Amino acid sequence: MNSVVNRDSVKFENYVETRIEDNVIKESAIQISLNHGKNELLNIGVIMRTPGKDNELIMGFLFCEGIISSKLDIDEIIINDNIAIVQVNHNIEINKNIHERMNTVTSSCGICGRSGINDLLHFHGPKLSEEIKINMELINKSLVLMRNKQAMFTSTGGSHACASFSDKGDLIDIQEDIGRHNAMDKLIGNMLICETNTLKNEYVVVSGRASFELVYKSIKAGFPILISVGAPSSLAIDVAIEHGLTLCSFAKNNKMTIYSGMRRIMKI
């Protein structure tokens, strides 16, 4: 599925007008509904995303919503015309009051439309590793590796990326999407598909700011360290501190600000 499309445009540079076909990142909606075998479809949300890796997106999204805990909880995903029907196991418990969405989940807000958020603010994730230690040199390497692998961003300038790395700085996986939280969901979804959802000594790097959602999803997936290129939010910092996540932001060229979990960052 093509994630980059062409649109006619007029480019102005030094007072010179040039008509060009510009590469732009594709954005479209996908509706996700759960079939729980009770002759009733539960609408989980209409997500604005970049098409491609939709199975990963759906799995990661459902995992972070607390609906599934592994790929074995899903029997089948059927996608037709941007409508996804997810057949989940009968033993999965679904709380309609929590999980049903009232409106569209935009590419900038992953929790928009939830009927309640109290469960999000009082969640539990796996125990985060205290063994992993990384330094600025490793972080610099990770930022360069991630940027070099951002094919969609290179083509359009319109995507965000989430990338996971080993404690040695080796790139494990990278996912791109117009939405930051979608890229994280695709990363987590691919982790579930590959059955590597039990994390011990890996860290995650995001190309934008560190919102509450990205901190929340990182903790749910078991990443002990989250590094962001952009700024954090107050709630992101508070949740990171509460759950023992190492949160580093404004990471660039031997610089970063550590807001929590300094114990996992080495000076040299």
Active site residue 109: yes
Q: Angle between the 212-221 and 54-64 helix axes, to the nearest 10 degrees?
A: 90
Kindly provide the b/e burial profile for residues 227-263, where b requires at least 16 CB atoms within 10 angstroms of the residue's own CB: bbbbebbeebbbbbeebbbbbbbbbeeeebeebbbee
Determine which one of 64, 109, 194, 248 is catalytic. 109
Residues contacting 157, CB < 8 A, separation 6+: none
Q: Which two three-digit tokens encode residue 88?
A: 């989940």
Alpha helices in the chain (DSSP H): 54-64, 96-99, 118-121, 136-148, 151-156, 180-193, 212-221, 234-243
Q: What positions carry a catalytic annotation?
A: 109
